């Protein structure tokens, strides 16, 4: 992918946090005020720490699970669609709120299937490390066709989840999404794969954004975007493990 067209691809990621268009006029931005890869990595570490801190709260106070997820969703929408330049404030709050939600749902899952949370965390970070290695080594390259495939699959999954949620309000959810049968497990495996492949796009966009010299706030925005995918991947892995354990 041409570096000169890198910023035009921010809208091609399956991650909704990259769906906005950013100006590619960076010549007027001083070097000290430009995004760097190290800065994005440091911001990601901060968000992960906040997420784990929130998870500790949610684990011990599971009644905060739903409010945590709702607040996190609102902050995510504000960050993506309203003012990404304020992501230095909204991203940490998002990570903390989502952490509370994740802690609550993880505690409930672990009470039913002891040890499942450790497995889910191990798989999440193991997959992330593996894909980062494959991306940096050049074995996995985010070509245009790859982007379109992941974008289409992610959009389809999102629509399916929304339709299922709406139908559940009327007492008729889409059954195979939650089924622990072979079809339901196969669906979860597919969703986990798509969520994982979104990480490749996230890595690429953060790296390209740093090389293009985007504004400094994009370090926070890039870290936030990566957190969105990591949280989605963890939840899908947890869902898959629950289905597998339910069959025993």
- The per-residue pLDDT for range 158-175, each reduced to its tens digit, is 999 999 888 888 877 777
144 within domain boundaries: yes
Burial call 185-203: b when 16+ CB within 10 Å, e when fewer: bebbeebbebbbbbbbbbb
C-alpha 4/C-alpha 237 separation (Å) is 36
Stretch 30-54: mean pLDDT:
93
Total number of domains in the chain: 1
Distance CA 11, CA 180 (A): 35
* Alpha carbons 167 and 189: distance in angstroms, whole number: 23
Is residue 159 one of the residues assigned to a domain?
yes
Range of the domain at 81: 31-246
d(CA 192, CA 240): 8
Q: Do the domain assignments include residue 105?
A: yes
For residue 178, is it within any domain?
A: yes
Residue 134 has pLDDT above 80, yes or no: yes
Question: Helix, strand, or coil here: 24?
Answer: coil
Biggest distance spanned by C-alpha atoms of the chain: 61
Residue 1 lies in a domain: no
pLDDT of residue 28: 64
């Amino acid at each position: 992918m041409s570096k000169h067209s890198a910023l035009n691809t921010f809208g091609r990621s399956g991650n909704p946090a990259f769906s906005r268009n950013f100006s590619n006029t960076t010549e007027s931005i001083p070097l000290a005020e430009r995004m760097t890869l190290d800065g994005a990595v440091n911001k990601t570490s901060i968000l992960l720490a906040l997420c784990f801190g929130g998870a500790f709260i949610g684990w011990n106070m599971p009644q905060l699970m739903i409010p945590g997820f709702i607040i996190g969703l609102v902050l995510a929408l504000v960050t993506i669609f309203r003012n990404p330049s304020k992501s230095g404030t909204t991203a940490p709050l998002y990570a903390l709120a989502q952490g509370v939600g994740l802690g609550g749902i993880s505690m409930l899952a672990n009470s039913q299937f002891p040890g499942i949370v450790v497995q889910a965390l191990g798989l999440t970070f193991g997959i992330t490390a593996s894909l980062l290695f494959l991306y940096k080594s050049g074995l996995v390259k985010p070509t245009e066709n790859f982007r379109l495939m992941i974008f289409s699959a992610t959009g389809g999954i999102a629509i399916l989840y929304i339709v299922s949620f709406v139908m559940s309000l009327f007492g008729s959810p889409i059954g195979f999404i939650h089924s622990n049968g072979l079809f339901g497990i196969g669906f979860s495996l597919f969703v986990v794969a798509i969520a994982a492949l979104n990480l490749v796009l996230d890595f690429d966009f953060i790296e390209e954004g740093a090389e293009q010299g985007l504004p400094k706030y994009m370090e926070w925005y890039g870290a936030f975007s990566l957190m969105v995918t990591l949280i989605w991947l963890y939840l899908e892995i947890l869902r898959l493990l629950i289905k597998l354990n339910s069959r025993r």
